[in-house]
């Protein structure tokens, strides 16, 4: 068995410890230099992307500036916008009221549009009622007829003032735009297709037919019937035949 190495002396042992310490420090320095940084560490796991914000969700916004932080131009613009909004609301309300008032006035005008015409007809009604009251005690029928004729002329004048004119039909060619044929009869005096009788007069208002005339239309001259042989001639012919036999 070999004898153990003799222990180093004090100076030699201190030098050896110092060399060992330097060697350990160099080894630690090399290890620290070879250690990767956190951002250089690579892993086998795939990188996870940051979640995207869902569509439709409001993004975080900075709080609006306070009144003290707003510039004077922005504050003035906001005041002008508020003034224009109030003015627009007032105009919309006034327009709605105007439309309602116009519709109401239009309905009233249509409702009483014929008030003047009705007043004129009432005057004619008064004349007819007076004539009716005087008819039972009237001794002169001619005077009563003259009064009715005057009322009739007055009535026609009222119609003419309103643009209502009678349609001429008697003796005129039949016109389906103006006449309504109720029947058709043969006539030796009126050619075919001519109005030979007027049963009810038609009227136009401002050129438009409001009631066609009800008429009877001629179908032309009546057809001639074949002549029948005379009985005397037939008797003479028979007697002659008997004589020859």
Of residues 96 and 63, more confidence is placed in 96
Taking 70 as the threshold, does the pLDDT of residue 128 lie above it?
A: yes
Poorest-confidence range of 54-58, 126-130, 159-163?
54-58
Helices 115-134 and 141-161: angle between axes, nearest 10 degrees: 180
Q: What's the whole-number average pLDDT of the chain?
A: 78
pLDDT at 91: 95
Question: How far does Cα 68 stand from its chain's mean position?
Answer: 53
**C-alpha dist (Å) from residue 192 to 132, 185, 196, 219:** 43, 9, 10, 4
Give the residue-averaged pLDDT of 61-70. Answer: 65
Give the residue-averaged pLDDT of 196-221. Answer: 94
pLDDT at 233: 47
Q: What is the pLDDT of residues 35-52, one digit of tens each?
A: 555 454 454 545 555 555
What distance in Å separates the CA atoms of residue 167 and residue 202, rounded to the nearest whole number?
5
Residue 65 phi/psi, 5-degree rounding, is -70, 150
Poorest-confidence range of 26-35, 76-85, 111-120, 157-166?
26-35
What distance in Å separates the CA atoms of residue 95 and residue 89, rounded to the nearest whole number?
10
Question: Under a CB-based contact definition with an 8 Å cutoff, are residues 195 and 179 in contact?
Answer: yes
Strands 179-185 and 202-205: unpaired
CATH class given for the domain over 166-222: mainly beta
């Amino acid at each position: 068995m070999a004898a153990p190495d003799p222990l180093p002396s004090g100076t030699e042992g201190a030098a050896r410890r110092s060399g060992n310490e330097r060697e350990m420090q160099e080894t630690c320095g090399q290890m620290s230099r070879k250690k990767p940084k956190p951002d250089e560490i690579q892993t086998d796991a795939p990188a996870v992307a940051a979640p995207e914000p869902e569509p439709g969700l409001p993004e975080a916004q900075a709080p609006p500036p306070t009144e003290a932080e707003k510039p004077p131009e922005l504050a003035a613009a906001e005041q002008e916008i508020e003034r224009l909004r109030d003015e627009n609301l007032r105009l919309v309300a006034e327009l709605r009221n105007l439309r309602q008032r116009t519709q109401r006035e239009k309905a009233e005008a249509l409702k009483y549009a014929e008030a003047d015409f009705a007043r004129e007809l009432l005057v004619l009604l008064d004349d007819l009622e007076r004539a009716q009251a005087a008819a039972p005690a009237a001794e002169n029928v001619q005077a009563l007829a003259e009064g009715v004729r005057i009322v009739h002329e007055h009535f026609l004048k009222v119609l003419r003032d309103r643009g209502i004119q009678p349609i001429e039909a008697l003796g005129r060619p039949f016109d389906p735009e103006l006449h309504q044929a109720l029947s058709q009869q043969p006539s030796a005096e009126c050619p075919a297709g001519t109005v030979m009788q007027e049963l009810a007069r038609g009227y136009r208002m401002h050129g438009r037919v409001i009631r066609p005339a009800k008429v009877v239309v001629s179908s032309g001259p009546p057809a001639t019937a074949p002549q029948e042989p005379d009985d005397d001639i037939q008797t003479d012919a028979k007697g002659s035949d008997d004589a020859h036999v």
